Structure 1
Amino acid sequence: MHRRRWAILGVLMLSLLIVVLDNSILNVAIKTISTPAPVGLGASQGQIEWAINAYTLVFAGLLFTSGLVGDRLGRKKVLLGGIALFGIGSALAAESGSPGQLIAYRAVMALGAAFVMPATLAVLMNVFEREEQPKAIGIWAGGVGLAIAIGPITGGALLDHFWWGSVFFINVPIVILALILMIWLVPDSRDPRPGRLDPIGVVLSVVGLVLLVYGIIKGGELADFTDAKVLATIIAGLVVLAGFVVFEKRSDHPSLDVSYFKNKVFSAAMSAIALVFFALMGVTFFSVFYTQSVRGYSPLQSGLMLLPLAAAQMIFAPRARLVVERFGNRATTTAGLVLIAATLAAFATFEADTPIWLLEVVFFLMGTGMAHIMTPTSVVIMQALPREKAGSASALSNTFRQVGGALGIAVLGSVLATTYRNGIEGKLGMLPPALRGTAAESIEATLGVAGRLGPRGKALVTPANDAFLHAMHVTALCGVGVALLGAVVTALFLPGRTPADQAGEKEGELVAVGD
C-alpha cells in the first residue's frame, strides 16, 4: 500500500479533470463557435459535431494501444508524455483560424488525452489495495462526473470575458501544474508481461468508426439517409468494424481481447456505459441550443444551469458503493438507467416558456442517475480482470464511453438536424433560394440569416424556435429508448447481491442479536 496514495489520487484527478473537462467545456461554446467571424468561426452543425467527435474518436481508437504502451513503457512516462501533448494541442486549438483547423487540433489533443486516461486508472489500481479500490474508484468516477459538469460553467465564464479560443487555452497552465506534481509524486509501474502492440487493429478501429460517424452526420446534414454516398459510407464503416473484430479474434496479440466479452457481466457493464453516454452526450448537444438559442441565456448562465448535475455527482458518486452494498450492482445500475430515461422524457415536454427550475430538477436527477451507473459499472469492469491488466480494462471502459458518446452526438445530432430541416423548410419561402439551404441547417443558421435580413428577418424567429423544440422532443424520445435498452441489459445480466454481501449482513444481524 503506497503511503502517499491519496495525494497521488489528487494528482491523477487533476490530469483526468482537464481531459474530461475539455469535452464538456466545448459544449457551451458550440453556439459561439457556430457564430460567423470575428466572434466565432462560422462552423456548421456538421462541423461542430466533428469538432466534438474528432476528439472522441481519436481518443477512443487509441485507448486500447495507449493502455498497452503504458503497461510496457511505464505508466508514469506515458502519463507525462500524454499530458504534455494535450497541452500543446490545446494551445494550437485556441488559435485555430477555421473549423477545419479546429477539428485537426482537437484530434492532436485527443492523441495526448488517450494516453492520460487509462494511465490514471491503472496507477490508481496499483497504489490502492483491493479493499480500498471501490472507494478510490468512486472518487475517480465522481471526478469524471464533476469535470463533465464544471466544463460548461468554466467555458461560460471564459466566453463572457474572452474570445472563444480561451476555452482551450485555459488547459495550458493546468497542464504545467499537473506535470510538476506528477514528476514529484506519481510512482512508475508496468505490466510484468505486457502485450504486443497491434497497429493494424488500431487503424481498422479508427477508420471503421470515422466512416460510420461520417455517414451518420452526413445523413443528418442532408436530411436523407437513403442518399447513396451516406449509405455507402455507413456500410463501409460497419464492414471495416466487422473486419476489426474478426482480425482481433484471430490475432495472438489483440488490442481488444474479444474473449473478455464472453463474460456476460463484463459485457453488460460495458453496454451500460456506452448506452448512458450515447443518451447523455446527445442531450448535452441539444440542451445548449435550447438554453442559448431558444431561451436566450448567455454561455455563463447556460453553464451555471448544469450546477445541479455537478452537485448530484459530488454528493452521490462517492456514496454509490453504499447503495451497491445494500441493493447490489444490478438494482443500482438499472435504477440509474431508468432515472436517466425519465429525465430524457422530461426534455420531450419542454417548451420555450417552461419554468427554468424544472430544468434544474431534471439536471440534478440526471447527475444522480449517472453517479449510480458509473461507480458500480467501473468497479465491476476493473475487478473482472486481473490487476496487471488494469490498463486494458480501463482502456476498454473508456473506449466504450467515448464511442457511445460519439455515436450519441452523431445519431441524435442527425435526428435533431433532420427533424429541424423538415420542420423549417416550409417556412423559408421569404428567403432567396440561395439562402434556403444554409438557413435550414440548424436553428443557429436560421437565426443568423434572420439577423442579416434586419426587421424582415424577425418573422423567422418563432418558426425557428417551434421547429427546434419539435426536433428536440423527437431527439429526447430517441434518447429515452436508448436508456431503457441499457436498463433491460443491466437488469438481465449484471450480478445482484453477492453471497459475501448477504453473509456480511447476516453476521451483522447476529452480532446485533447477541448484543
Structure 2
Amino acid sequence: MAKNKSVAMDINGTPFSRSAMVAVLLIGTFAGVLMQTSLGTAIPTLMHDFDITLATAQQATTWFLLANGIMMPVSAYLSTRIPSKVLYIFAYLMLFAGMATTAFTPAHHDMWWMFLLGRILVAIAVGVTMPLMQVVMVNIFPAEERGAAMGINGIVIGLAPAIGPTLSGWILEKNHHFLGLTISDSWRTIFYLPMFVLALVIIASLFFIKNVIPNRKMKLDVPSLIISTLGFGIFLWSFTNVATDGWGDFKNVILPMIVGLLFIVLFVVRQLKLDEPFVDVKVFKNHQFALTTVSVMMAMMAMMGVEMMLPTYLQNVHTMSPLESGLTLLPGALMMGIMAPIAGSAYDKIGAKRLALTGFSILAIGTVPFLFLTASTPAHFITALYAVRMFGIAMAMMPLTAMAMSVLPPAEAPHATAANNTARQVASAVVVALLSSVTQNVISNNEPAKALSKTNPLQYGADYLDASMKGFHVSFAIGLGFAIVGIVVAMFLKGGAIKAAGYSNHKPVDPQMKEAE
C-alpha cells in the first residue's frame, strides 16, 4: 500500500501549498546568496570605476562576510520571536534595498562607503534568510521527507555561491543592456537582474509564505547580542586580514583573533547560564549533532581548499579570462545543484553515515590529481576533476545537514540551525585566510630573484610559474587533508536515517481529502 503524502499546515492548522512556498523561498534566498560571490570577478572593474586600490575593493567581500557571520547567531532569536512571514518579507525588502544601494552608488571613490553600506544590508538579509529557510524546511516537512527537503535547500547553499562568479563574468564581458536600456557601467547589471527577480518574489511572498514556525515571546538578551557581535565580528575580521598582513601581524591578526575568541568563550558561558539563551549552545551536547556539524565544516573547508584557488590558477597559469575560468568550473557547480536534492532524498532511505563516507572518499580521490597539476594540464581534465569533487561534496554535505536537523527536536531547530550555520561561516573564513596566506608564503619562498627578470626573462618566467604551482599544490593538499579528516569523523556517525519525533506542521493526507498541493 502506498505511503500517504503529507499535507503542510501553518501554525493555525490551515493547509497551504508547500510547493509554492518552497519555490518562493528558494528563488528569493538564491538571489541573496548569489551576492556572496558574484563580485569576485568584478573587483578589477570596481577598482577602475571607483578609482580605488585592490585592498579597498576587497572590502566589498570582507564586510559582507563580517555582517553575514554576525547575523547567523541572531537568526535563532529572530525566528523564535517574529512570525516567519513577516520576517521573510522584511528580510527580502532589506535585501532589495541593499542591492539597490550598491547598484545606484555613483562611481566615485568618495561614494565607496555607500557601496559598502549596500553590501552590509545584503549580508544582514542573507544572514536571516539562509538559516531561516532550514528552520522552515524542518517545520513543514515530516521526518521521512527531511533529507529531500535539505537536498532542495542545498541547491541554494551549494549552487548559488558556485555559479556567482560565472554569471558576473558573463555579465561583465557580454552584457551591457538590461530591459532595453544601455548600461554604461556593466557591473551594475550584476545587481539589476537579482533585483528584478526579487521584486517578483516579494509580491509572491504576500500570498504564498505562511507562518509555519511556532513563535513565543522571548526577551532579547542585549548583553548576549553585543558579546556575540563583538566575538564573531572581531574573530572573522582577524582572518580577513591574514591574506594582506600575514599570520605574524600582532595588531591586525593575532590580537583581534585572541580578543574575538575570548568574547566567543564569554558568549558560550553566558548562554549556558541563561534560562532562555540567545543561542542554545547545549545542542552541541548531542554528540551526533556535534559530529555532523564538524563533518559539514570539513566538507566546506575541503570544497574551499580547491574552489578558492582554481580560478586564480586558471587565470594566472592558463591565462584565461574571468568568464573562461568561470565556464571551466560551471559543470562542477551544476553537478552540485543536480546532486544536492538526490543526495538529500537518499538520506531518507539509508541515512547520512554511508553517504558521507562515500562522498568524502570521492572528494578525496577527486582531489589527489590536483596535487599534480601542471601549466599544461588540459582545461577539460580540470573541469572533469572539479565535477567529481562537487559530486562528492554534495553527497556528503546534504545528508549531513539533514541529519544535523533531525537529531534534535523541532523546538531546538532555530538554535541548531544558528549553531550549524555559524560554524560553517567560521570554517569558510578560516580556510580562506589559511589557504591565501600559506599559498602566498610558499610562492614567496620559492620565487626567483628579481634580478633574474632582467638578465634572463624567460628563465625568470619559468621559475616564477614553478613557484606558483608549488603554492597551488600545497593549497590543494590542505583541501585533501580536510577531506580525509571528514572520512574519519563520519566513521563515528550513527547509521540509518535519524527520525526525530514531534513535528506537527503536517499530517497525512486523508484519502477522501483533496490534495492541498
TM-score norm. by structure 1 comes to 0.82
1:317 maps to which residue?
340
Change (3 A) 1:311 1:229: closer
Q: Equivalents in 1 of 2:97, 2:274: separation in Å?
A: 35
Change (3 A) 1:430 1:211: farther
1:297-312 alignment runs, 5 A limit: 297-312=320-335
1:167 aligns with 2:180: no
Report which stretch shifted further, 93-102 or 133-142: 93-102
1:472 maps to which residue?
472
Alignment match of 1:146 (pick from 150, 154, 159) = 159
1:42 maps to which residue?
53
What amino acid sits opposite 2:97 in the alignment? I
What amino acid sits opposite 1:43 in the alignment? L
Deviation at 1:12, TM superposition (A): 0.8
Alignment match of 1:6 (pick from 19, 29, 37) = 19
Superimposed CA distance per residue, residues 296-317 of structure 1 (whole angstroms, 9 cap, x where no aligned partner): 2222222222222233223322
What amino acid sits opposite 1:474 in the alignment? V
Verify the 8 A CA contact 2:146 2:348 in the aligned structure 1.
no
Report which stretch shifted further, 54-63 or 178-187: 54-63
2:496 maps to which residue?
497
Tell me how many residue pairs correspond in the alignment. Answer: 471
Alignment match of 1:82 (pick from 91, 95, 101) = 91
Q: Equivalents in 2 of 1:101, 1:23: separation in Å?
A: 18
Q: Equivalents in 1 of 2:172, 2:419: separation in Å?
A: 34
Verify the 8 A CA contact 2:234 2:257 in the aligned structure 1.
yes
1:104-503 alignment runs, 5 A limit: 104-161=117-174, 162=176, 163-193=186-216, 195-223=218-246, 225=248, 227=250, 230-321=253-344, 323-324=346-347, 327-424=350-447, 426-429=448-451, 462-492=462-492, 494-497=493-496
Question: 3-state SS of the aligned residue for 2:38?
Answer: helix
Question: 3-state SS of the aligned residue for 2:372?
Answer: coil
Verify the 8 A CA contact 2:247 2:254 in the aligned structure 1.
no
Q: Equivalents in 2 of 1:483, 1:193: separation in Å?
A: 41
Change (3 A) 1:194 1:293: farther
What amino acid sits opposite 1:312 in the alignment? M
Superimposed CA distance per residue, residues 241-265 of structure 1 (whole angstroms, 9 cap, x where no aligned partner): 2222222222222222121111110
Deviation at 1:101, TM superposition (A): 5.7
Verify the 8 A CA contact 2:242 2:433 in the aligned structure 1.
no
Change (3 A) 1:32 1:472: farther
Superimposed CA distance per residue, residues 397-453 of structure 1 (whole angstroms, 9 cap, x where no aligned partner): 3222222112221221222233333334x533489xxxxxxxxxxxxxxxxxxxxx9
Verify the 8 A CA contact 2:446 2:467 in the aligned structure 1.
yes
Deviation at 1:210, TM superposition (A): 3.5
Verify the 8 A CA contact 1:90 1:172 in the aligned structure 2.
yes
Deviation at 1:155, TM superposition (A): 1.3
Change (3 A) 1:200 1:483: farther
Change (3 A) 1:237 1:192: closer
Change (3 A) 1:206 1:340: farther
Report which stretch shifted further, 457-466 or 171-180: 457-466
1:503 maps to which residue?
none
Change (3 A) 1:115 1:234: closer
Flag structure 1 segments of 5+ consecutive residues without an equivalent.
432-452, 501-515
Deviation at 1:383, TM superposition (A): 1.5
What amino acid sits opposite 1:427 in the alignment? A
Q: Equivalents in 2 of 1:175, 1:231: separation in Å?
A: 40
Superimposed CA distance per residue, residues 177-209 of structure 1 (whole angstroms, 9 cap, x where no aligned partner): 110111121112342435433333333233233
What amino acid sits opposite 1:393 in the alignment? A
Q: Which has the higher helix share?
A: 1
Deviation at 1:125, TM superposition (A): 3.0
Verify the 8 A CA contact 1:79 1:120 in the aligned structure 2.
no
Q: Equivalents in 2 of 1:499, 1:144: separation in Å?
A: 22
Verify the 8 A CA contact 1:309 1:363 in the aligned structure 2.
yes
Verify the 8 A CA contact 1:312 1:367 in the aligned structure 2.
yes
What amino acid sits opposite 2:449 in the alignment? K
What amino acid sits opposite 2:476 in the alignment? A
Q: What value does the CA root-mean-square deviation take over the aligned residues?
A: 3.0
Verify the 8 A CA contact 2:70 2:233 in the aligned structure 1.
no
TM-score norm. by structure 2 comes to 0.82
Q: Equivalents in 1 of 2:364, 2:488: separation in Å?
A: 12
Superimposed CA distance per residue, residues 324-382 of structure 1 (whole angstroms, 9 cap, x where no aligned partner): 45653212112222332333333322222111122111221122112112221121122
Q: Equivalents in 1 of 2:322, 2:141: separation in Å?
A: 40
1:61 maps to which residue?
70
Change (3 A) 1:183 1:498: closer
What amino acid sits opposite 1:495 in the alignment? K
Q: Equivalents in 1 of 2:329, 2:36: separation in Å?
A: 15
Q: Equivalents in 2 of 1:159, 1:297: separation in Å?
A: 15
Superimposed CA distance per residue, residues 22-64 of structure 1 (whole angstroms, 9 cap, x where no aligned partner): 223233435655xx524984313x963x533422332222122
1:72 maps to which residue?
81
Question: 3-state SS of the aligned residue for 1:131?
Answer: helix
What amino acid sits opposite 1:12 in the alignment? L
Q: Equivalents in 2 of 1:144, 1:273: separation in Å?
A: 12
Q: Equivalents in 2 of 1:58, 1:487: separation in Å?
A: 32
Change (3 A) 1:200 1:24: same
What amino acid sits opposite 1:497 in the alignment? G
Q: Equivalents in 2 of 1:30, 1:37: separation in Å?
A: 9
Verify the 8 A CA contact 2:145 2:348 in the aligned structure 1.
no
Change (3 A) 1:499 1:457: closer
Verify the 8 A CA contact 2:291 2:490 in the aligned structure 1.
yes
Verify the 8 A CA contact 2:66 2:237 in the aligned structure 1.
no
Q: Equivalents in 2 of 1:104, 1:464: separation in Å?
A: 39
Q: Equivalents in 2 of 1:108, 1:389: separation in Å?
A: 27
Flag structure 2 segments of 5+ consecutive residues without an equivalent.
1-6, 9-15, 177-185, 500-517
